[in-house]
Chain A
Amino acid sequence: IAGITQAPTSQILAAGRRMTLRCTQDMRHNAMYWYRQDLGLGLRLIHYSNTAGTTGKGEVPDGYSVSRANTDDFPLTLASAVPSQTSVYFCASSSGINSYNEQFFGPGTRLTVL
């Protein structure tokens, strides 16, 4: 049982380059999320999707875009990376969108933008 996989594990990227972080889940969860984790700030929500074909903006969406073509995949794209996007990125999923639903997290992608 894989759960949630993310790729790449880590990446060093030149500023201005385009980058897509991949996220795939095999739990058939409807809801998926992207967070970034920064020291002293915890995890902050970037974008979310409550079902295939729909997406929404989270707390820090600027500079990022997402798509949800099917249930399993939820890629996060940085169109033109900037150094402030250096962070650890976590993808998560949940079976529902109620307050009590547990979110399951992937192992993360460590991104460095130079």
Chain B
Amino acid sequence: DQQVKQNSPSLSVQEGRISILNCDYTNSMFDYFLWYKKYPAEGPTFLISISSIKDKNEDGRFTVFLNKSAKHLSLHIVPSQPGDSAVYFCAASALIPGAQKLVFGQGTRLTINP
């Protein structure tokens, strides 16, 4: 049972335009959501996060929106740059006894075309 879903395996966007990556979750117990970016042959790196009590968090070109009623979040990148080409993972965070648990989506491969 996939608790966090990224339904678009890939996305192609023109340089300078907006990239929108989507993520859906099923468990209301998640209280923090994070986006990670991954380049080939490297580990994921943290990009931006949002608390479940907020509906928007912005950091430079990156903005994450959270719609709790729809159990949906999205990552907006504007303007998109060639260096943004990577796989993006959405992750939902919850506490399990004695630890933090991150549940990841399947990932979306973003390609920025010049």
Contact = CB atoms under 8 A, between A and B. Distances in A.
A33 B106 CA distance: 19
Interface string A46-78: 001010001010100000000000000000000
Interface residues of A, number: 31
SS class, residues of chain A in contact with chain B: strand
Contact of B32 (A40, A56, A100): A100
Contacts of B97: 56
Interface size class of B (residues with CB under 8 A): 20 to 34
A44 B46 CA distance: 17
A90 B38 CA distance: 12
A98 B94 CA distance: 8
Contacts, number: 73
Contacts of B44: 43, 90, 105
Given A96-B100, A107-B43, 11 more contacts: A4-B43, A42-B4, A42-B6, A42-B104, A48-B99, A56-B97, A98-B95, A100-B32, A100-B49, A102-B46, A107-B42
16 contacts: A31-B100, A42-B6, A43-B44, A43-B91, A48-B99, A50-B98, A50-B99, A56-B98, A92-B43, A96-B100, A98-B100, A99-B32, A99-B93, A99-B95, A103-B102, A108-B43
Interface of A: 4, 31, 33, 35, 40-45, 48, 50, 54, 56, 58, 90, 92, 94, 96-108
